[in-house]
Amino acid sequence: MNIAIAGSAGRMGRTLIEAVLTSADLKLSAALEVAGSPHLGRDAGESLGNACGIAVSADYAAGITASDCLIDFTRPEGTLRHLEACVNSGANMVIGTTGFSAEGRQRIVDAAKKIAIVFAPNMAVGVNAAFKLAEVAATILGNDYDVEIVEAHHRHKVDAPSGTALKLGEVVAAALGRDLNQCAVYGREGDTGERDANSIGFHSIRGGDIVGEHSVIFAGGGERVEVTVRSQSRSTYATGALRAARFLQGKGAGLYDMQDVLGLK
């Protein structure tokens, strides 16, 4: 299967390229970057010490046309442009980008009527196991436990809370029969008054080179249950993304997530 990588010169892009180049069944068909990038024209494997004969290019249309699937961990505005190119060429798409507006998410839903897409806030297999564990814990513990979600990422992350934290909130809220839009509380400061029993709190930490840490805390009277996952390498995201790309092979148009990929639904 031919794989194109968007944002190929970034930290995640390089990790994805390395994963594709070392896989037995996937072929790197395009390494894509924005116009004006100093990496344009260079061999995509050069920085990894593994020259592959694929030059970094800004021609997204041509790169996607030559590929079966595009893997995209960039920014919402770029991902939506690439989405259009995938629809035009019929290529599948794995989207790990976060921070979309409601309109942006709707455009992905609409595109999935024409191509097969895996769209997930986190591609790591362990994180998706945590989604399921949080759902089970919320179902068992019910409304007698207060829920707080804490996430930590590197200093360069631009959105907060993380997409993974929000997904954890959505999973827990659904299990408890709540509307996250109505019960979410983002940080606290000053005289906030007593905690609303139905609220789900979110707290974001940014610093250093933290790859990604997420904890869902269920705090009850006399005990506390925590579901925690710590990502120590971006390779976990890349492994999940390649698994998602393989899952899409032969699939018809549709919108899938990692729970589909992992058979957790």
Q: And the tokens for 110?
A: 């609409």
Rounded to whole angstroms, how far apart are CA atoms 75 and 73?
Answer: 7
Q: Where does the chain show beta strands of DSSP type E?
A: 2-5, 27-32, 56-57, 69-72, 92-95, 116-119, 146-153, 184-186, 200-206, 212-220, 223-231, 254-256
Q: And the tokens for 71?
A: 């893997």
Rounded to whole angstroms, how far apart are CA atoms 97 and 233?
Answer: 17
Does 153 qualify as catalytic in the annotation?
Answer: yes
Q: Which of 39, 153, 167, 214 is catalytic?
A: 153
Q: Where does 112-168 show beta strands of DSSP type E?
A: 116-119, 146-153
102-111 and 76-89 helices, crossing angle to 10°: 10
Spatial contact of 57 and 32, defined as CB atoms under 8 Å apart: yes
Does 157 qualify as catalytic in the annotation?
Answer: yes
Q: Which of 82, 113, 114, 157 is catalytic?
A: 157
Angle at 131 between CA 126 and CA 137, to 5 degrees: 120
**Around Cβ 91, how many Cβ atoms within 10 Å?**
24
- Residues taking part in catalysis: 153, 157
